[in-house]
Amino acid sequence: MYTALKHVHLATVSISFCLFFLRGVWMIGDSPRLQQPWVGIVPHINDTMLLLSAIGMLSLIGQSPFAFDWLTAKIAALVVYILVGTVAIKRGSSKAIRIGAWALAMLIFSYMVSVGLSRDPRGFLLLL
């Protein structure tokens, strides 16, 4: 069961990144596609599956999400990513702010992935 949840988690991480990247490209290009109903619905469904798979994996192994510093770092980065992502896609007062927030959100997303892969709260910062 854990392996299945892990595969779901990894797949939804990939889908989440692709959808956020695409929405950012559409935002930069002022595409009317960004206003299509599915664009506001599908990412939420996918991200819910992503979160549920993470919770499922944690419960299967009996691990608290704050028991390890790398998991705490991932959760903290997730909260920041969500906040910055809403500025990028919806709440930014100018296109320049939205583009900057989008780039920052992509960096935060990359950090979260690197923390998950390395199981170290420094993630890709280990390379510096």
Task: Tell me which residue has tokens 């500025």.
Answer: 87
Helix and strand element counts for the chain (H, E): 4, 0
Integer CA distances (angstroms), 44 to 47, 50, 62, 100, 127, in order: 5, 10, 27, 22, 33
Q: Where are the domains of the chain?
A: 1-63, 66-128
Task: Provide the pLDDT for residue 47.
Answer: 92
Q: What pLDDT, on a 0 to 100 scale, did the predictor assign at position 68? A: 85
**Residue 19 has what pLDDT?**
96
Say how many residues make up the chain. Answer: 128
Q: Which residues 6+ apart lie within 8 Å of 95 measured at CB? A: 27, 28
Q: Tens of pLDDT along the chain (128 residues)?
A: 999 999 999 999 999 999 999 999 999 999 999 999 999 999 999 999 999 999 999 899 887 878 889 999 999 999 999 999 999 988 999 999 999 999 999 999 999 999 999 999 999 988 88
